[in-house]
Structure 1
Amino acid sequence: MSKSGGQYQGSKKRLAKNTVLLYFRQILILAVTLYTSRVVLQVLGASDYGIYSLIGSFVSLFNVISGAFVVAITRYMAFVMGEGNVDDMKNLYSTSVWIQLILGGGITIAVIISGIWYINNLMVLPVARIDATTWVLVFSAASFYIGLLSVPYNALIVAHERMQAFAYIAFVEVSLKLVTVLILPWTPFDKLITYGALTVFVTFIVRLLYMWYCQRHFAECMFKWHIDWSLFKDMMKFIRWAFLGNGAVTLKEQGISIIMNLFLGTTINAARGLANSVNGAVTSFINNFIQAVQPQITKMYSSGQHEAMCHLICLSCRFSFFLLLFLSLPVIKNIDYILSIWLGETPEYTNIFIVLTLIDSLVNSLSAPMLYGTLAEGNIKVYEIVLTITYVASLPISYLLLWLEISPVWIYVMLIIMRMMIQSYLVWQGKAYGMSFSLFGREVLWYVLPVALVATLVGCVVDLSGLINMQMLCFIAETTVLLMAVAVIIVLIGMRGGERLALWQAVRQKLSQFKA
């Protein structure tokens, strides 16, 4: 086996291990979040909980900027590590910290100043809670800044593919959050202010843990007072274009919501919000898989393994689609029943919005690994411009559709088509590192399309209502049968012979270990 092929096989093993670790982390965080949200709502009350959520939403608007920092620093960390130069890694680490200290500090000050203006001029709240709300803003901004300072450390962990660190620290984080909500009812101080202060404390402790882990395990984690201005300027160019794309995505999401509200009122926003919530819960698991593969793609590019990188991208496209299909198909099939037991009555269009949003995410699952290939190559200017033009164009088109009294369902159809266009462009731009439409067709679409077709047909056929009278038992039985069927379809149709053999050997090994 060639060196490139051996590293490709090793990448697949690390990818599987890291995905499992990140899945564990996500399940743990999701479970604790569901519990703590309920307790905090009970302790704070609806009004104060609404204040806390609204301030959180306001601060999160600035994630458009911080998200560009995350993309740039994570990319550069993995890229330089692939080159294997420790001195360059040290310079990159220090420069990244300086970027977060200086620019992140400026953004945080902007958050506080604009937030105070928002609280005193636009926000509707009881006069008696203005001071408490201002404190919550300050605490939220502090948490935001601490989170920014954690980015270089998180990027180092991702670049080194030490995903177990995320799992371990996540356990500490959720434990601290549980302690927070347990002691909150017993504090003699203002509950809203106390909760904000405790949240900052938890964020700070978690940040210290990431810093301690990195300094203990990574030699390049050494802060210098010197800034590599050449690297700084190069990273700022990357951040500028990443910010353009992030801004376009935010503009598209918020703009369409505003346009829908203008024509159809608040109930359509409720349906859209529920669709985004369901989609976020489902896709959070696939995002862990994508996060695990990103550093491998970047390091392969920087070390010149372009052929192995293309194969890994195609493999990631296939399995990200399969994982999301496995999770979303039961939701799509039983969406009406799921909504009935979850919410009871739902706004009009909720069910079809959820279905189309999940389909959009399925299409997007094919493009995420391709995007990491483009980020690794570094020439993101044209891609971000194409993304911005496409998403900005969605706003007047959405307005025109609703002005013509066409169903808002077609807005989602339009967004799916735009997603396909962006996916096609990513494949075309991939020629810079060896990707081609023929390779993408052979290694991705040749497997993905038959699996999607057969799985959908099976989903339409599976109906146990004639055998099981109780609706809940019927739902559980149908979901179980469908999941098993989709898994078999993926193995038989979606996997190559060598991949099936590797899967079978892994299963046999685990079974033998279990018996022993």
Structure 2
Amino acid sequence: MILNALGVIDYGIYGVVGGVIAMLGYLNTAMAKTTQRFLSFAEGKRDKAKQKVVFNTSVMLHLGIGVSIFILMEAFYYPLFYGILNIPEERMAAAQFIYHMMAVSTLFTILTVPYDATINAHEDLVYYGIVGVFEALLKLAVAFIVVYAMIDKLILYGVLMTTISVLMMIIMRIYCHQRYEECVFFPKKYYCNRSAIEMGKFAGWNLVGTFSGIAGNYGTGLLMNHVFGTVVIAAQTIANQIGGALNVFSSNMIKAINPVIVKAEGEGKRSNMLDLSLAGCRYSFFLYTLFAIPCLLEADYVLKLWLKNVPDWAVLFCRLQILRTMLEQLTNALGMALMAEGHIMKINIVNLVLSILTFISLYLLYSFGFLPYWHFIISIIFMVIIESCFKIYYCSRYCHLSIKYFIRNVFVRCVLCAVIPFLVGLYFVSEFEGQGFLRLCLTSVICTTILIMVLFSIGMNKQEKNLIVRNMFTNMH
């Protein structure tokens, strides 16, 4: 709906300039992990006073971080618009307006990080469920408003999306102060320099990893815009939206299990922490695969069903983005295991180096005339496969994870659970001639059924199978 209302050019402009909004969620989640780690660790030790110290110290730290990033974004404004971005002259003013709004929105998002971390630490899924539905309804309303608006649709869309972000932040702050005991902002009493130094070091290294991820996504997006223009960015933005929509359930599951992982480490239960981390890797992969395989097979029809005008490269980009996100799930929870244990410096340095190598590799490839889809291939090689290998290695070194155990109980199980239903679905799609809604439904049912069967026979261990069977019999009686 938004693509049809804005048009391919304006949608591409919003994807590259307003793409900061997409990065805000990533930045917010990544930075919140630092505060959540210290809050959950203190909760594991049953230390409520320490939680108040962590919260107040976190608020002050993120105030400094937010103001610094805001200044950097404004300082980067001129070289970005007059040296890097490839935007039609007649849409330059609208794009610049969007960028300034994104800078303000970034500041408010960072200031909300301690509150988001508190909700995560308390595993408050009810809040995320209710507010998530409310936010989705607001975004749907924005889509209808933009379609029928008579003013500049790009500027209006940017203003409304930023307003939603700020509104969600205000709701979160009010909710936390009303509900959680540790959310008392009184820095004169609870601010601690020692905690600030400890959290500052941790947050600093985590921020290195966060900006590595942003550089690997937004930075390479700027490069693609500079080389290929806004139409290709429109296709990339659609691929990112598809990948994000499919990832909702698995990301929410990881968000729920993260504080439990840290609490287990805080209680000194390393074995439980590792078991939870490996289960998180497997089940986030299974949840994503459940929705990803039908979409992977029917990407062409899904995009035609969703969009009136499908941009060039959109179908291929969607398939590659789905594959990338699927592979990321295999080691998703291992990052939190490293955070819980405390050794995050080296993995974040690795992420930074890999992001730089990704950017340099793409720059060289595009200079030699390679096509846009190499963005995904290089990203998968550096930012997924190589990064995952380093995660496994550091978990083995610092958390005493058995690499053989990981390969046998996570990697092999997950690959089999994905490949078998994919091959069955691929055979069905090749035999069922003609795209259509019926084939999409049948493909989804067949792939889901096969996945559940393979999951129960291969993907689960004995304890998990027994737990499910026991719960089924309990519910029957």
Give the TM-score, by structure 2 length: 0.81
- Compared with structure 1, are the counterparts of its residues 245 and 142 closer, same or farther at alpha carbon in structure 2 (3 Å cutoff)? closer
- The letter of the residue matching 1:299 is K
Match of 1:459 in 2: 425
2:45–2:267 Cα contact (<8 Å) kept: yes
Counterparts of 1:75 and 1:475, CA distance in 2 = 42
1:176–1:202 Cα contact (<8 Å) kept: yes
Match of 2:448 in 1: 483
- Compared with structure 1, are the counterparts of its residues 496 and 117 closer, same or farther at alpha carbon in structure 2 (3 Å cutoff)? closer
1:401–1:408 Cα contact (<8 Å) kept: no
- Compared with structure 1, are the counterparts of its residues 126 and 374 closer, same or farther at alpha carbon in structure 2 (3 Å cutoff)? same
Where does structure 1 lack aligned partners over 5 or more consecutive residues? 1-33
- Compared with structure 1, are the counterparts of its residues 252 and 151 closer, same or farther at alpha carbon in structure 2 (3 Å cutoff)? closer
- The letter of the residue matching 1:497 is K
Counterparts of 1:127 and 1:361, CA distance in 2 = 33
Please, which of 367, 376, 379 is the counterpart of residue 415 of structure 1?
379
- Compared with structure 1, are the counterparts of its residues 128 and 241 closer, same or farther at alpha carbon in structure 2 (3 Å cutoff)? closer
Matches for 1:41-190 after TM superposition, within 5 Å: 56-57=18-19, 69-108=31-70, 111=73, 141-173=103-135
1:68–1:239 Cα contact (<8 Å) kept: no
1:464–1:474 Cα contact (<8 Å) kept: no
CA apart distance, 1:193: 8.5
Matches for 1:305-324 after TM superposition, within 5 Å: 305-324=269-288
Counterparts of 1:351 and 1:305, CA distance in 2 = 46
Match of 1:429 in 2: 394
CA apart distance, 1:312: 1.0
2:8–2:234 Cα contact (<8 Å) kept: no
Matched, 1:220 2:186: no
Counterparts of 2:357 and 2:246, CA distance in 1 = 28
Counterparts of 2:11 and 2:418, CA distance in 1 = 42
Give the TM-score, by structure 1 length: 0.76
Please, which of 450, 458, 476 is the counterpart of residue 416 of structure 2?
450
- The letter of the residue matching 1:429 is Y
Query: Alignment RMSD, CA only?
Result: 4.2
Match of 2:351 in 1: 387
1:74–1:158 Cα contact (<8 Å) kept: yes
Partner of 2:112, secondary structure, is helix
Counterparts of 2:469 and 2:174, CA distance in 1 = 40
- The letter of the residue matching 1:390 is L
- Compared with structure 1, are the counterparts of its residues 170 and 408 closer, same or farther at alpha carbon in structure 2 (3 Å cutoff)? closer
Of residues 194-203 and 396-405 in structure 1, the stretch that sits farther from structure 2 once superposed is: 194-203
Counterparts of 2:378 and 2:72, CA distance in 1 = 36
Counterparts of 1:313 and 1:448, CA distance in 2 = 15
**Deviations 1:448-498 (CA, angstroms, capped at 9, x unpaired):** 2322332233223324855x8783323322222222121221122211233
- Compared with structure 1, are the counterparts of its residues 404 and 225 closer, same or farther at alpha carbon in structure 2 (3 Å cutoff)? closer
- The letter of the residue matching 1:69 is M
Counterparts of 2:416 and 2:147, CA distance in 1 = 54
- Compared with structure 1, are the counterparts of its residues 73 and 183 closer, same or farther at alpha carbon in structure 2 (3 Å cutoff)? same
CA apart distance, 1:297: 1.1
Match of 2:207 in 1: 243
- Compared with structure 1, are the counterparts of its residues 351 and 140 closer, same or farther at alpha carbon in structure 2 (3 Å cutoff)? closer
1:316–1:369 Cα contact (<8 Å) kept: yes
Please, which of 413, 438, 452 is the counterpart of residue 404 of structure 2?
438
Counterparts of 2:239 and 2:337, CA distance in 1 = 29
1:321–1:366 Cα contact (<8 Å) kept: yes
Counterparts of 2:225 and 2:93, CA distance in 1 = 29
Matched, 1:494 2:459: yes
CA apart distance, 1:425: 1.5
- Compared with structure 1, are the counterparts of its residues 404 and 216 closer, same or farther at alpha carbon in structure 2 (3 Å cutoff)? closer
- Compared with structure 1, are the counterparts of its residues 174 and 458 closer, same or farther at alpha carbon in structure 2 (3 Å cutoff)? closer
Of residues 230-239 and 102-111 in structure 1, the stretch that sits farther from structure 2 once superposed is: 102-111
Please, which of 322, 326, 346 is the counterpart of residue 358 of structure 1?
322
CA apart distance, 1:92: 0.6
Partner of 1:462, secondary structure, is helix
Matched, 1:296 2:249: no
Where does structure 2 lack aligned partners over 5 or more consecutive residues? none
1:297–1:376 Cα contact (<8 Å) kept: yes
- Compared with structure 1, are the counterparts of its residues 236 and 408 closer, same or farther at alpha carbon in structure 2 (3 Å cutoff)? same
- The letter of the residue matching 1:374 is L
Counterparts of 2:306 and 2:287, CA distance in 1 = 24
Counterparts of 1:54 and 1:415, CA distance in 2 = 18
Counterparts of 1:233 and 1:381, CA distance in 2 = 15
**Deviations 1:67-90 (CA, angstroms, capped at 9, x unpaired):** 663332222222222222111111
Instruction: State the percentage of identical aligned residues.
Output: 25
* Higher-Rg member (1/2): 1
Match of 2:331 in 1: 367
2:281–2:333 Cα contact (<8 Å) kept: yes
1:301–1:309 Cα contact (<8 Å) kept: yes
CA apart distance, 1:52: 7.6
Counterparts of 2:50 and 2:91, CA distance in 1 = 54
- Compared with structure 1, are the counterparts of its residues 346 and 170 closer, same or farther at alpha carbon in structure 2 (3 Å cutoff)? closer
1:464–1:478 Cα contact (<8 Å) kept: no
CA apart distance, 1:108: 3.7
Of residues 270-279 and 63-72 in structure 1, the stretch that sits farther from structure 2 once superposed is: 63-72
Counterparts of 1:164 and 1:235, CA distance in 2 = 28
